[in-house]
Amino acid sequence: MAEHLIENYLIDMDGVLVHEEHPIPGADAFLAGIGEAGLGFLVLTNNSIYTARDLSARLAGAGLTIPPERIWTSALATALFLHTQRPRGSAYVVGEAGLTTALHDIGYVLSDRSPDYVVLGETRTYSFEAITKAVRLVRDGARFIATNPDPTGPSVEGLLPATGAVAAMITRATGVTPYFVGKPNPLMMRSALNTLSAHSETTVVIGDRMDTDVVAGLEAGMDTVLVLSGITSITDVDRFPYRPTAIVDSIAQLPVGRDVRTLDSMPTAAVRPAPAGAPDRTGTHGRSPGPVHTSGSTTRG
């Protein structure tokens, strides 16, 4: 079988490149390999709190050099969607700078006076007053948009309620379900492809969640790779009616530019970053572990 050409990657951020504030072992080498091979990529995240510039700085703090133009957030995808639907409109926003900046950049006016849209994003400080205002505006006829359906988000202290959970509260109070722009909506994948000027046939999605990354990539016509360094475990995979094109322990096991349809591998134990100051227990001493073969043994470089 002829090798399937790979030109671009759409890479989820949390659980694939970083885990909380720590880089996934091998993520830096994979990104460097993409650059050396002359391939394209975008880092995708449903997180709408931060701007692409903010996220670039945060990733740099974790040792990953990714310029802002290589980061695509649900806030950017939401702004692009609103620009195509109702240019230079108005919105009441529940969210942080990542979302408000994206809307300002497309010429939107942020207002609580008869706005065209109520746009719900993620924030670490959801205000009951702001949610009440959103409920009243939606009941008065504002169109309801949410950046993503994620019910929870990660933090150092543990899971936090996220956009999807708050959206459910507003829906319960109004009877109106929002249009979710972020993953698993393939619209976010399509907008990312357009940003890269890429084609789905030559682009691979890499993610850690079956219910967002993998299904969104599948519905957008792309090959998908599930990494086990984040949310989904190998025992979860068979619970879904669809499967990724390939499964690997982490991004470190994925050869850059390799046709993922030809990977003959079986995951063993997912690679998670050790806490700062903890000893290296991977046996690689900072080097990326090699591919995992069907025998279950790992070949190290």
The domains of the chain are located at 74-180, 213-301
Residue-by-residue DSSP string for 66-133: --GGGEEEHHHHHHHHHHHHSTT-EEEEES-HHHHHHHHHTTPEE-SSS-SEEEE---SS--HHHHHH
Tell me what the pLDDT averaged over the chain comes to.
87
Does residue 288 or residue 83 have the better pLDDT?
83
> What pLDDT sits at residue 299?
27
Q: How is domain 74-180 classified at the architecture level of CATH?
A: 3-Layer(aba) Sandwich (3.40)
pTM for the whole thing?
A: 0.85
pLDDT category, 43, cuts 50, 70, 90? very high
Give the separation between CA 185 and CA 51, rounded to whole angstroms.
20
Comparing 76-90, 155-169, 216-230, the range with the smallest average pLDDT is 155-169
Which residues are part of the catalytic machinery?
A: 12, 14
pLDDT of residue 148 exceeding 80, the answer is: yes
pLDDT category, 152, cuts 50, 70, 90? confident
Comparing 41-50, 116-125, 152-161, 183-192, the range with the smallest average pLDDT is 152-161
